[in-house]
Chain A
Amino acid sequence: MTDESTLVLDVASLTKRYEGPQGEVRVLSNYDLKISKGEFVAVRGPSGCGKSTLLLAAGGLLSPESGQVKVDGTDLYQLSRGDRSTFRADKIGFVFQQFHLIPYLSVLDNALTPSLENPGNDSLNRARQLLDEFGLKDRLDHVPGQLSTGEKQRVAMVRALLNSPSLVLADEPTGNLDAENSKVILDRLKDFAQQGGAVLLVTHDDQAAEAADRVIQLESVGATS
């Protein structure tokens, strides 16, 4: 039995379909997933099995056909679009394989983008502190084009952690990194979970999967007509 009070992510009966060239493709069907505080969960599976779909739906970025996604007890898709954005800014951090840093902003400003919607007094100090912890103290004024891929992903990690979210959703965060940088990122995700956060990691990488407390294998649901 999962303890409801420590439950961070509660995905229940999630179904998501796409319209493909050869008809409707159902990538997730009545899918359930629960992640509690302190848990680092990795999701593995073949391409197209719905790993990224699960992650984006869990982050409130992809409305499912049916089912529920609750984060800290709040049903994301019952919220208005604006409220969902605010909720996401407060409770969820994202890390992507492609980093998605804004090319014209400095490292510090990229890290601060989650504070755009709710600028808090402490955002700047926290960003500086996190960047320091991630070894980017001397890179604050650099733009992404001046960083290595490992550094870029570390900036993306700082951005995800800025608002002290409950849940971090990581989509192949080590996909473009060497072993050393991958370890840094995985260690940080592990630390985050150990400090009471919850991590959902989507990966193909064995090393990444090994770092997780729990590994879920996702199978292809297949096409339906």
Chain B
Amino acid sequence: MSIIKLIFGEIWFRKTHFALNLFAASFAVTLFVAGPTLINGYSRASSDRLTTMKEKFEEESKLYKDETRKIMLKLGFNLLILHKDTNMDDFWAEDYSAIDMPQDYVDRLANAKTLTLATHIVATLQSKIEWNDRKVLLKGFQKETPQPHKKKKKPMGHIVKPGHAYLGYRLGIGKKVGDKIQILGKEFTISQIFSEKGSKEDITIAVDLKDAQNLLNKEGKINQILALGCKCEGSLLPQVRKQLAEVLPETKITEQNSKAIARAEQRQLVDQQNEKILSETKDAHQEVEGTLRTLDAVTTPIVVIASAIWMALLALSNVRERRSEIGILRAVGLRSAKILSLFLGKATIIGLASGCIGFGLGYLIAILFGVNALEVASNYFNLSPQIFFYALIGAPLISIMASYLPALTALNQDPAIVLREE
């Protein structure tokens, strides 16, 4: 005969009482386990979802950026640097600035480390001239001036050999590469004839800068510096203006090629939209997670307390039911500690069993609810050893606490009264 035999014998004898206790404790443990399991699973799934979205958006943005960069390069220079006194009305009417600048401006620009937003700097001298009884645009191009503090890139702009010329489409009609032509009384060899562009390029003659300076009697002069807004941002001008004012206060800048700008702005818009979607999704996930946490924080303690009260009442009824048994055990000499162990031992068994049952049920409920209501894949819900540990320790503790006072009433019960009454 042992106390353990007494405990298990009583459990078997009063199965309903045991089942009710087990139900109460398991219910509390189920909720205790389901809450954190659900929240952790949802949190992991949300984090993964957001990471995937972010990666997708970043990939998309990278593609757009690359595409924009290519378009920008294809479209050519998008910045024009002119003398600050240039009349812009005349400039747009004539297609060139009437006010020249010293050629060394381009070196000052290229060497300025503070100029970070413009690259591919090319000095030009442009003017309208009479050629073969028509007005054409003569453009002298200097080879791109390298920026020593920047990474080397494939140069942009026309690189025309001295004594050679590139002809626009309309000017090249009836001519071929290798033909000799006269420009303002000097002979040039045609190196290239451009395809039709549908713009003023079609009536342009491109030559080396020095040749143009000779032809126009403007030695050491330029009137336009071409550059590329290298960051491809739509609202580039204010920043470039600021940088330029520090390096070349005698100049001003204007932007061209609105198509490229629009493209860059579109990319920015997509980025902003994606960021907004990402932020809204994150907010929505946080809101759901917050609701789950609040619900868990409110519901679980209430259920645990209610279950503990229920268990305490059941334990009290158990003590009353066992008055005679306790009385006779006292009469045959059982000490208080052993009487107490009868009740607390039973409470421990209920706690351990409910810890295991509740853990399993809680995990299943978290999966069922998570998969069906929150659309989270089941693999996000992990069996947490930590939660299992808490359930296995916490459930017996609460069960023992709930049974402790009723067990004390059993101890304080006067066996004489019970044995006489019975």
Contact = CB atoms under 8 A, between A and B. Distances in A.
Interface of A: 52-53, 56, 59, 61-62, 81-82, 85-90, 94, 96, 98, 100-105, 109, 112-119, 123, 159, 171
A125 B225 CA distance: 117
A85 B10 contact: no
A96 B416 contact: no
A61 B332 CA distance: 10
B419 A85 contact: no
A118 B338 CA distance: 12
Given A100-B324, A116-B2, A90 B333 contact: yes
Contacts of B338: 116-117
A115 B416 CA distance: 21
Nearest to B13: A104
B302 to A, nearest CB: 35
B4 to A, nearest CB: 11
B408 interface: no
Contacts of A103: 13, 325
Interface in B13-53: 13-14
Contact of B333 (A56, A105, A109, A114): A114
Interface in B304-357: 324-325, 327-336, 338
A96 B332 contact: no
B3 interface: yes
B89 interface: no
Contacts of A88: 331-333
B329 A116 contact: yes
A100 B335 contact: no
B328 A102 contact: yes
Contacts of A115: 1
B331 A116 contact: no
B91 interface: no
A115 to B, nearest CB: 6
Interface of B: 1-3, 5-6, 9-10, 12-14, 324-325, 327-336, 338, 414-416, 419-420, 422
Contact of B416 (A61, A90, A109, A123): A61
A102 B333 contact: no
Given A104-B12, A112-B1, A116-B2, A96 B336 contact: no
Given A94-B328, A98-B324, 19 more contacts: A52-B420, A61-B330, A82-B335, A86-B333, A87-B333, A88-B331, A89-B332, A89-B334, A96-B328, A100-B327, A104-B13, A104-B14, A109-B5, A113-B332, A114-B333, A116-B6, A116-B338, A117-B333, A117-B338
Contact of B422 (A62, A86, A98, A118): A98
B334 A85 contact: yes
B5 A96 contact: no
Given A94-B332, A116-B338, A56 B416 contact: yes
A90 B325 CA distance: 19
Contacts of A100: 324-325, 327-328, 331, 419, 422
A90 B334 CA distance: 11
A81 to B, nearest CB: 7
Contacts of A82: 335-336
A94 B324 contact: no
A82 B340 CA distance: 13
A181 B9 CA distance: 29
24 contacts: A61-B415, A61-B419, A62-B416, A85-B330, A85-B335, A86-B333, A89-B334, A90-B333, A98-B422, A100-B327, A100-B328, A100-B422, A101-B328, A102-B328, A103-B13, A104-B10, A104-B14, A105-B9, A113-B332, A114-B333, A116-B332, A116-B338, A118-B333, A171-B419
Contacts of A171: 419
A94 B329 CA distance: 11
B411 to A, nearest CB: 10
Pairs A-B, 7 closest by C-beta atoms: A89-B333, A104-B13, A100-B328, A112-B1, A62-B416, A56-B416, A114-B332
B3 to A, nearest CB: 7
Contacts of B3: 116
B19 to A, nearest CB: 16
Nearest to A82: B335
B10 to A, nearest CB: 6
Contacts of B422: 96, 98, 100
B335 A86 contact: yes
A81 B160 CA distance: 117
A67 B13 CA distance: 42
A173 B14 CA distance: 28
B30 to A, nearest CB: 29
B332 A159 contact: yes
B333 A104 contact: no
Contacts of A61: 330-331, 415-416, 419
Contacts of A102: 6, 9, 325, 328-329
A117 B328 contact: no
A52 to B, nearest CB: 5
B344 to A, nearest CB: 16
Nearest to A96: B419
